[in-house]
Structure 1
Amino acid sequence: MSSNRERNDSKRPKGKNRPEKNAGRPHAPEQQRPRQAENAPKPQSFQKSKVNDDGWLWGVHAVEAALKNVNRQGPLKLYLSEERTKTIAPALLNRSGLRVSTLMMPDIARMLPQGAVHQGIALHGPVLEGVGLESIMEGGDGVILMLDQVTDPQNIGAIFRSAAAFGVQGLVMQDRHSPPLQGVLAKTAAGAADRVPFARVTNLSRSLELLGENGYVSVGLAGEGEFNLHTLLAQQGWGISLKKLVLVLGSEGEGLRRLVAEHCDHLARIPMPGGFESLNVSHAASISLYEALARTP
């Protein structure tokens, strides 16, 4: 015999007073989220800055060296924090085509790429164009450093810094595969980009031919070099009978290209008794310059 409860349940219309299938479960997110117009503007806090480093230098050493460089073309815009205005040398501000503004530190940061360590000083203006290869050769005897498709701005900045420290005659880069001397490159160079003469050339092989015609001996740094660099320089009489030298370094990944290597007078290696296969190109440049200039007889 059926109970009263069973009889009452049987009389309820189907579909009424029954819990929904998904009752007690959260709705899917798309059902809770209000629909937004397709072209509705994003909230201001989600808009990303499009600031880049075009024409910008920042950091004390990079900017002060730029202001001292009479070959830099204007107009130039200098931005200083209140604290930096008290420490900058007044003589640096006495040049034509320079406009100076004082801003708060966060305001300077907003004009620069994210993470730029500006130290309360930034400069905006035309990028350095460099000089001709002939101008570098006119500097007299010494070492010229050539970079074969080295593209990393921090590596090139570090190489400029080493070049300035060891007193190289000049630096040669391929025009199409070298970043402009600004931003991170200039910050890493710590002012050396405005002190070391540099040339951008179209063809490195032709440039090596021209350097050879003017009495330079070129040495390409490569792991397959027959002699280590120190031995080769001694054999060539560097610093005694040989007074003009070109050191050629290859790119971070591929090293010297075949045609560039073939146009070098010699290939030499840096001994690595630790057994590691290669060095960062900026470290290789420093070691090579030490061998050529700090150990010159």
Structure 2
Amino acid sequence: MAPPFRPKQAWPGGKRPGGPARRTGAPPPHRPGEIDEAVLYGVHPVVEALRNPQRRFRRLLATENALRRLREEIGELPVEAELVRPSEIDRLLTPDSVHQGLYLVCDPLPSPDLDSLPDDAVVLALDQITDPHNVGAILRSAAAFAAAAVIVTIRHSPAATGVLAKSASGALEHVPLIAVRNLGDALDTLGKRGFLRVGFDSDGDVTLDDVALRRPLVMVMGAEGKGLRQRSRELCDHVARLEVPGAITSLNVSNATAIALYAASRRR
């Protein structure tokens, strides 16, 4: 009888990367600026992270087929991979997680300052959007339309790990997340720098077509259901709505963000 499969290296202290919280499906802390590690899984998030020279890697788990694909994609790996069976990764994630045989533990990416934004930037600001799937999808759109950054609050925002990273499909490596303590203060600072601040709401005062978009530009997206908070609205130069012809006039926030970014890209 063949011996039971074992990873070729024991985990320090008998603990697998990710810890017991991830094995039981508990979410990571909802504080982007305060996580001490990032867990990425799935082909696109892991490949893009391994290509990112700013990443510092701690552990890479890969199945045989996934490791072969990884080497075909990027050649020599910047971290030694540990060969495991899919069930080893399954135990580290929630049952609905699609890991495709890859699980990477690395340091979080640094959060840049608002002062680092260029003078011709298009930036997104998320006003307490807490769903990691939505934030991940927004990051994908931000990467597609070359947004300079996405601003989130340290509290009431999902951490840049796990589900968010999977939903972002590698966009975390291309669009900086700027974590701020107070979104209103950040909008005030950007306004003083000359940023046009446009908030989005289905009951906005004007249509987006009526706003003379210019750069630098920050587009402020509110949480689904609650929308923009009062101070965020007050600090916007315009609160705009997207005109849609159909019977349903309220869009998912990630879809609305993609449309807003497209509009901004067409009106440079």
TM-score normalised to structure 2 length = 0.82
Separation in 2, partners of 1:163, 1:144: 8
User: For residues 1-297 of structure 1, what are the structure 2 equivalents within 5 Å?
Assistant: 50-52=24-26, 54=28, 55-74=38-57, 76-89=58-71, 91=74, 93-95=76-78, 98-135=79-116, 137=117, 139-232=118-211, 236=212, 238=213, 242-293=214-265, 295-296=266-267
SS in 1 for 2:66: helix
Per-residue deviation at 1:93?
4.8
Separation in 2, partners of 1:120, 1:223: 41
Per-residue deviation at 1:92?
6.1
Per-residue deviation at 1:265?
0.8
Conservation of the 8 A alpha-carbon contact between 1:57 and 1:186: yes
Q: State the Cα RMSD in Å.
A: 1.8
Of residues 108-117 and 282-291 in structure 1, the stretch that sits farther from structure 2 once superposed is 108-117
Does 1 or 2 have the higher relative contact order (CA < 8 Å, sep 6+)? 2
Conservation of the 8 A alpha-carbon contact between 1:52 and 1:112: no
Change (3 A) 1:223 1:111: closer
SS in 1 for 2:184: helix
Partner of 1:37: none
Separation in 1, partners of 2:143, 2:267: 17
Separation in 2, partners of 1:255, 1:188: 22
Conservation of the 8 A alpha-carbon contact between 1:67 and 1:92: no
Which structure would you say has the larger Rg?
1
CA deviation profile, 1:5-25 (whole Å, cap 9, x unmatched): xxxxxxxxxxxxxxxxxxxxx
Change (3 A) 1:50 1:219: same
SS in 1 for 2:228: coil
CA deviation profile, 1:18-51 (whole Å, cap 9, x unmatched): xxxxxxxxxxxxxxxxxxxxxxxxxxxxxxx525
The residue type equivalent to 2:67 in the other structure is T
Separation in 2, partners of 1:51, 1:81: 21
Conservation of the 8 A alpha-carbon contact between 2:40 and 2:166: yes
Per-residue deviation at 1:224?
2.7
**What percentage of residue pairs aligned between the two structures are identical?**
40
Q: Structure 2: give runs of 5+ residues left out of the alignment.
A: 1-22, 29-37
Separation in 2, partners of 1:230, 1:277: 16
Change (3 A) 1:265 1:92: farther
Conservation of the 8 A alpha-carbon contact between 1:142 and 1:168: yes
Separation in 2, partners of 1:253, 1:141: 32
Separation in 2, partners of 1:286, 1:217: 18
SS in 1 for 2:107: coil
Separation in 1, partners of 2:45, 2:216: 30
The residue type equivalent to 1:61 in the other structure is H
TM-score normalised to structure 1 length = 0.75
The residue type equivalent to 1:205 in the other structure is G
The residue type equivalent to 2:62 in the other structure is L
CA deviation profile, 1:197-229 (whole Å, cap 9, x unmatched): 120001111111111111111000012322210
Per-residue deviation at 1:279?
1.1
Conservation of the 8 A alpha-carbon contact between 1:252 and 1:281: yes
